[in-house]
Structure 1
Amino acid sequence: MKNTLARGLTNLLPMVLSIWLFWSLFISLDGLGQLLLNSLGAPFMFVGAGFILVAVIVFIAGLLFSVSPIVWVYGWLERQLMKFPLFKSVYGSIRDIAGLMNRDGKPKTQKTVLVKQASGGYVVGFIMSDNTPQPLTDALPEGDWVPVLFQLSYQVAGITTLVKRDELINVDWSFEDAMRFNLTAGISTAKGNDVAKQKETSR
């Protein structure tokens, strides 16, 4: 009984939460779009019309940001607002997250590596960038240093450590799979192996 409930919860919970999250996002954006339509005097049309309007506005904004004068004006406005410390902290964090989401056309520098510890064990890490900030490069001893992220289990947060490139062991493992391994402390990989074994047994 207990195992059956746990199995049902394990399989249903991720699907239900994912659908709820995307549905909540859809409703929020649709409500924002409907508010814009109402402010323009347009009558209520159908559920989803506001979401379509928001999507169109975002698409048009993307087109406009390909025009140099608009990019320059927006950059100037951004620099003026960044002079306010509180705005700089909040806006900077959101902008960095948005930048991580938009990786199209940019080389993916994230690589999975192993870093040897003093105890002889190894820790899974990620090279997030091939470039180290110049102030850090000037302060560090001579060598090819790269920032390596060590993800904490069950947390989005992690620890960034500077490690010499020749002390890293490259791993032929996708960033997404390795990140999932770290976030779940290896549980997701163990679960995947169990499913694979069950499929082999059933053949």
Structure 2
Amino acid sequence: MKKTLLRGLFNVLPLVLSIWLFWSLFESLDEVGNFLFGLVHITELFKGAGFLLILILLFVAGLLFSVSPIAWLYDFVIRQLMRFPFFKTVYSSINDIASLMSSDNKNKNQQTVLVHQANNTYIVGFIMANETPEPLSNALPDGDWVPVLFPLSYQIAGITTLVKREDLTIVDWSFEDAMRYNLTAGISVSAKDKEEKEKEKEKEKQTTDHATNEQK
């Protein structure tokens, strides 16, 4: 009974927490949108109207930032605000996380690699950029050095190590699947892997059933 209860908990908990997280985000954005409606003396139209308003404003902002004068003006304002140390620290941290999550800023050259260790073991890492900053290049011995990220389990942060490209083993593995594997130490597998395993089990079951029917 205990195992059955835990199995139900571990299967239902991720779904419940995910729904709760997205619902909380929806409620928060909806409240902000309704506050903006209130500034122009518009009462709540329907549930979710504030959320739709925020989405529309974000879409309009995206269009505006594609216009050079608007983008230049925004950059100018940010540069002025960056003169304040506290603002610079907070803004830079949030901006780095947003850039990491943005699909527009994803490095198409991200590669999954294996790095050989001294004790004849390998560690999974990721080439995040093809160039090393000039100060580091000047300090390092001659060679083609690239920054390799070794993420820490269940954390955004990780250890960045500079490794010679010739010492890396390129792996034909998608960044998302390899990152998921690394963060969970192999506990989590991709949906594609699960689907393939289920198909294999189903195929084996059909083969076994067919063999059993022929024997009968």
Q: TM-score range by the shorter chain?
A: over 0.9
Relative distance call for 1:70 and 1:29 in structure 2 (3 A) is: same
Per the TM alignment, residue 105 of structure 1 is displaced from its structure 2 partner at its CA by 7.8
Residue 150 (structure 2) aligns with: 150
Question: What does 1:37-76 align with in structure 2 at a 5 Å threshold?
Answer: 37-76=37-76
- In structure 1, stretches of 5+ residues that fail to align are none
Note the alpha carbon deviations across 1:111-158, whole angstroms, 9 max, x for none: 110000011100000111111111111111111111101011232321
Contact 1:156–1:183 under 8 Å retained in 2: no
Per the TM alignment, residue 109 of structure 1 is displaced from its structure 2 partner at its CA by 2.2
Question: CA–CA distance in 2 between the matches of 1:190 and 1:129?
Answer: 25
Note the alpha carbon deviations across 1:63-93, whole angstroms, 9 max, x for none: 1111111111111111111111211111111
Residue 170 (structure 2) aligns with: 170
Instruction: Provide the secondary structure at the position in 2 that maps to 1:173.
Output: coil
Give the superposed CA RMSD.
2.1
% identity of equivalent residues: 61
Per the TM alignment, residue 29 of structure 1 is displaced from its structure 2 partner at its CA by 0.4
Structure 2: which amino acid aligns with 1:78?
Answer: I
Structure label with greater radius of gyration: 2
Residue 182 (structure 2) aligns with: 182
Contact 1:154–1:185 under 8 Å retained in 2: no
Question: CA–CA distance in 1 between the matches of 2:204 and 2:89?
Answer: 54
Contact 2:29–2:51 under 8 Å retained in 1: yes
Question: CA–CA distance in 1 between the matches of 2:101 and 2:78?
Answer: 20
Question: CA–CA distance in 1 between the matches of 2:128 and 2:107?
Answer: 11
Q: If the length of structure 1 is used for normalisation, what is the TM-score?
A: 0.92
Per the TM alignment, residue 202 of structure 1 is displaced from its structure 2 partner at its CA by 3.8
Instruction: Provide the secondary structure at the position in 2 that maps to 1:83.
Output: coil
Residue 26 (structure 1) aligns with: 26
Residue 35 (structure 2) aligns with: 35
Instruction: Provide the secondary structure at the position in 2 that maps to 1:187.
Output: coil
- In structure 2, stretches of 5+ residues that fail to align are 207-216
Structure 1: which amino acid aligns with 2:159?
Answer: I
Note the alpha carbon deviations across 1:151-192, whole angstroms, 9 max, x for none: 112323210111111100011111111111111111113996
Q: If the length of structure 2 is used for normalisation, what is the TM-score?
A: 0.87
Runs of 4+ displaced beyond 3 Å: 104-107, 189-203
